Structures are given as C-alpha cells and as structure tokens.
Structure 1
Amino acid sequence: MQRRVQRDQRDQRDQRAKRLNRVLVCAAAVPVMLVASGCSSDSGSGDSTDKAANAAASASASPSPTVKAAAYGKLPEPCKVLSKKTLKDLVPEGKSGKEGKSDDISTRAGCSWNSLDNNGVKGSQFRWLNVSMLRFESDATRGPADKLAQEYYAKQVEEAQGVEGAKSTKSEPVTDIGDQATAVRYDLKKKEGTFKQQTVVARVENVVVTLDYNGAGLAGDKAPSADDLTKDAKKAAEEAVEAVSEANGAGGKAGDAPSKSPSKSASKPADGASKEPSKEASSSPSKSSSEKPASKS
C-alpha cells in the first residue's frame, strides 16, 4: 500500500515536470519567432529603399532636354546697317543717326534718323526713319531661338496693323526679305498734316528687324506718295536684313558673342529708337504716326 502511494506521488511529480518543460520551451520559442518576423520585415524595407535609390539614380542619369542653338549670335552696328545712298534717298536732310540705348547691343539695338526739308512759303517735307533689331537666344524652357523670333515677329506685325487712329491700313507679305516679312502702311492725321506710315517687319533666323518710315507734307506742301514711301521702306528693310546676315558670316555664328537671352526690356525697341521722331524733328510736326513701343516678347 505504501509503495503504491509512493509510485503515484512520483508519477504526479513527473507529470508536473513535463508540463513545466513544455511551458519553458514555448516561452523560448516566442522571441525566436519575433526575431524572425522582425528580420523578414527589415529585409522588405531594405528592398524598397534600394529600388527607390535605383530609380532616383536612373532619373538623374537621364539626359537633360536640349534645344537647337541660335543661328545668329550678334547684331551689326545699328547706325551702319543702311548705306549712305539709302539714307540720302530716305532722309535727305538727316544728319548722323541717333543710336538707341541698350543694355546689350548683341541682343537689341536701334538707330533713328529724321529729315525736315523746309521750302519756306511752299511748305516743307518731313521724313522719319527708324531701324530696330532684336535677337533671340535659344532657351531650354522657352524653346529654340528661331521659334521665339517668329512669335515676336507676329506680334510686331499685329501691332503695326492695329495702331489707334490709323486710316486706310493695308498689309502685304514681302517674299524677298529674310525668312519672312510683312509690310504695313496706313495714314494718320495730325494737326500738322497727314502722316503716311510704312512699317516693314522682317525675320532672318533668330533676329527680327522692324523698320519704320513715315513722311508728311507740312505747312501747305503736298503729302508724299504712299507707294513711293513703301517702296523705299522695303528697300531699306532688305538692306538692314542683309547687314544682320553679313555680321553673322564666317566666324560670326552664335558663340562669338555673349549668349544672353533678351530680357523683358529687350523686347522693346532700344531707347531713343522708339517709333517717333526725335526732339529735333518734332519741333515742326508732333510725334510720328507710330507711337506705340514694340510689344514684349
């Protein structure tokens, strides 16, 4: 009887020991599982970080967008774009041209001349001539230089066609000047007389040339022929465009002059070359027929 009791007690102790061992084993297994789970999570995070880094490296290695370089890199001296003969024909009483102020003469430039032929009691003939040039540089954001020049050319033509108070406005394409050209003419009546305005806008590569020429018969003198003025204006514009091309001949391409994009102010004619006669000429007539400055590019 006593032995049976002792065996029962030993069996109970053995069962308790087995249960305790199972608890300890399970408890030890929990942190192992947690560690394994944590390692698995870290591995996934590292993979996504590597993928992001590789994507960023690939993006940075992609080439930056480029645009076609500007064809012309300089402008000619503005007061020398027209020959002495042309100036004698268009502004016979004109003196030396007045060069406009510019913060970068390789980007924008202009020159103006005026003439007042006083015939005493028979009246007088007034003429005013202005040439302005604007050169564009290619820009990765705005686009190639010739495209920017085309946009500015269109604005100049539109502005010439929309002058306030203009009468009998006529426009015509000119096929033999630069890459594209348009001639606009109209009459503008002032207290001194009727002024006949001619504007020729031309583009050659990435340069826009705007030539303004007007005339009036004052103090009783007859008005000049609009056809004659238009013919003279076209001839002068063609000469100015040729001067731009010659200035950018061999060794004169973009890169020989500072590569500077026109600023907002460069979209206007050079100071002193606005579409109006100088103070000397305006002593008889008022401002010329085209008073609006060039629009911003």
Structure 2
Amino acid sequence: MHRSASRLTRVLACAAVPVILTVAGCSSDSGKDTGSKGEKTSGSSSSAKPNPKSSKTLEKATFAALPDPCKALQAPTIETLVPEVKDKNGQAPKSNDVATRTSCAWNGLDADGLKGSQFRWLSLSFFRYDSDAALGSANKRAEEQYNKEIETAKSEEGAQAPKAEAVAGIGDQATSVIYTVKKDVDSFNTSIVARAQNVVVRLDYNGAAYEGAGAPDHAKLLQDAITAAKEAVTSVDAANKAPAEQPQSPQPQ
C-alpha cells in the first residue's frame, strides 16, 4: 500500500512538469511578441521623421540681369577689332531674351586697293541661369552651358584641327578655341568662352584676307579676342550694380 502511494506521487509530479513548461513557454512567447510590436512601433516613428535634404534650398543666383550685348564693348574696342565696321551699333537678333539670352554682331571690310582687303566678324553672346529645384543651382547650370559652348565651338562646320586651351584672368573660368576654316579663302576663327558665376559669355572673332592681302595674324586675333572677352565679363558685373554704384562720367568744367 505504501509502495503504491509513492508511485502515484511520482506520476503526478511528472505529469505536472509539461504543464509548467507549457505555461512558461507561452509566457516567454508573449513577451517576445510584445517586444517585437514595440520595436515595430519604434521603427515606424523613426521613419516618419522629415528628411533634412528634401528641405534644402538652392543658393540665389549672383547675377539677375544681363548687359545690352551691343553696348557691352566700348566703341574703341569695336573699332580695333573690326576696322571699317559696317554698323558701330551692332546687329542684334529679334529673338533676344534680355533676361536670359542675348547677342550682338559686327562685321567690316577694310579694303586697301591693290593690297587687298581684310574682313573681320565679331559676335558676342550672353547666357544667364537661375537656380531651379528640378535642374540644379544657377552656377551648376551655367557651368553645363559653358562646357556645351566649348564643344559647340570645337565642332563648327569646316573647323580644321580645333585647339582648346584654358585662359586665365577671365571670370571664374575661360577657354579659348582656335581653328581654321578653308573655303575660297582661309578664315581664322577664335572663340572665347567664359563663365562668371551664373552667366556664360561667348565671344567669336573671325578674320579673312581677300584679293591678295596677307593672311590675318592668328596670334593677334586671339589676343584681341581675349581682351574683348575680359571687357564683356566686366560688363556683366556693371549691369548688376545699383545706379549709385555705377561709375560716373566726369562732368564738363
């Protein structure tokens, strides 16, 4: 009778073990679920925080206006680069958008009797850009146009062996492109492309000789073009100064 009672006690004790383990297991799983739910809630609130990059504003364009391209170069400069210029005031296309794109051109034929004639053609163009959330900052857009103008100058129709070189002292960056175009006569072409902040300046200067005249001095054409390009870039800064900041002409005595 004593043995039967002891065996019954052990059986009941063993039977109780799975119940305790089961309860402990359910309690442990419940804790994990709660923790998991807590982690998900925390992650959700973290991802809802605003992205600081999305609210970043682009810098304001440095230059808000362009100069009149037909007045950007001084009269003595025009007369030096284009002797016997046909129209000192230049010719501007009707499509000029004075806020973003403008251009002007001059040409002249300097005839010297039996010594032949010298032809010169000068063109000046300005491109201005504003910052745009979809397209980028004003300076970045101007730099893209700067590179585009250089490639355009190098790929002009008939251009032979175009050579591009950096030019110091003009705006933030500048490049010269020189090449020859061979047709009835050899035309020596020079392009200066410069960038001043959010404005791009392109100056094209070409020379050709006719009726036995000596060929233009390409080195001089390049130097004259660089001088004119510096003047054109300076005109951009002047066009954006307040009237009080504009240089005053000397008053007659």
When normalised by structure 1's length, the TM-score is 0.62
| Structure 2 residue 60 is matched with structure 1 residue 72 | no
Deviation at 1:161?
1.7
| Structure 2 residue 242 is matched with structure 1 residue 241 | no
Residue 63 to residue 224, structure 1, CA distance change in 2 (3 Å): closer
* Equivalences for residues 14-53 of structure 1 within 5 A: none
* Equivalences for residues 117-196 of structure 1 within 5 A: 117-191=110-184, 193-196=185-188
Deviation at 1:178?
0.3
Mapped partners of 2:215, 2:161: distance in 1: 15
Which residue of structure 2 aligns with residue 218 of structure 1?
Answer: 210
| Structure 2 residue 226 is matched with structure 1 residue 230 | no
Between structure 1 and structure 2, the one with the greater Rg is 1
Using the aligned pairs only, state the percent identity: 47
Q: How large is the RMSD of aligned CA atoms in angstroms?
A: 2.6
Secondary structure at the counterpart of residue 151 of structure 1: helix
Which residue of structure 2 aligns with residue 105 of structure 1?
Answer: 98
Mapped partners of 1:222, 1:63: distance in 2: 62
Aligned length: 200
Deviation at 1:126?
0.1
Deviation at 1:103?
5.3
Mapped partners of 1:98, 1:139: distance in 2: 32
Deviation at 1:168?
3.8
Query: CA contact under 8 A between 2:96 and 2:102: conserved in structure 1?
Result: no
Which residue of structure 2 aligns with residue 207 of structure 1?
Answer: 199
Deviation at 1:100?
2.3
Could you list the per-position Cα deviations for residues 212-236 of structure 1 after superposition, in whole angstroms to 9, with x for gaps in the alignment? 0000001221111000000000000
Mapped partners of 1:216, 1:103: distance in 2: 28
Deviation at 1:246?
1.2
Mapped partners of 2:243, 2:61: distance in 1: 14
Mapped partners of 1:176, 1:198: distance in 2: 17
- Opposite residue 109 of structure 2, the aligned amino acid is L
Deviation at 1:137?
0.7
Structure 2 gaps of 5+ residues are: 1-43, 245-253
Query: CA contact under 8 A between 1:65 and 1:140: conserved in structure 2?
Result: no
Which residue of structure 2 aligns with residue 89 of structure 1?
Answer: 80
Mapped partners of 2:173, 2:81: distance in 1: 23
Could you list the per-position Cα deviations for residues 224-258 of structure 1 after superposition, in whole angstroms to 9, with x for gaps in the alignment? 10000000000000000000011112489xxxxxx
Query: CA contact under 8 A between 2:175 and 2:194: conserved in structure 1?
Result: yes
Deviation at 1:121?
3.0
Could you list the per-position Cα deviations for residues 164-220 of structure 1 after superposition, in whole angstroms to 9, with x for gaps in the alignment? 4322422211110000000011111111x1000000000001000000000000122
Deviation at 1:104?
2.6
Structure 1 gaps of 5+ residues are: 1-51, 253-297
Residue 143 to residue 90, structure 1, CA distance change in 2 (3 Å): same
Mapped partners of 1:208, 1:100: distance in 2: 18
Mapped partners of 2:111, 2:96: distance in 1: 37
Secondary structure at the counterpart of residue 70 of structure 2: helix
- Opposite residue 144 of structure 1, the aligned amino acid is S
Which residue of structure 1 aligns with residue 20 of structure 2?
Answer: none
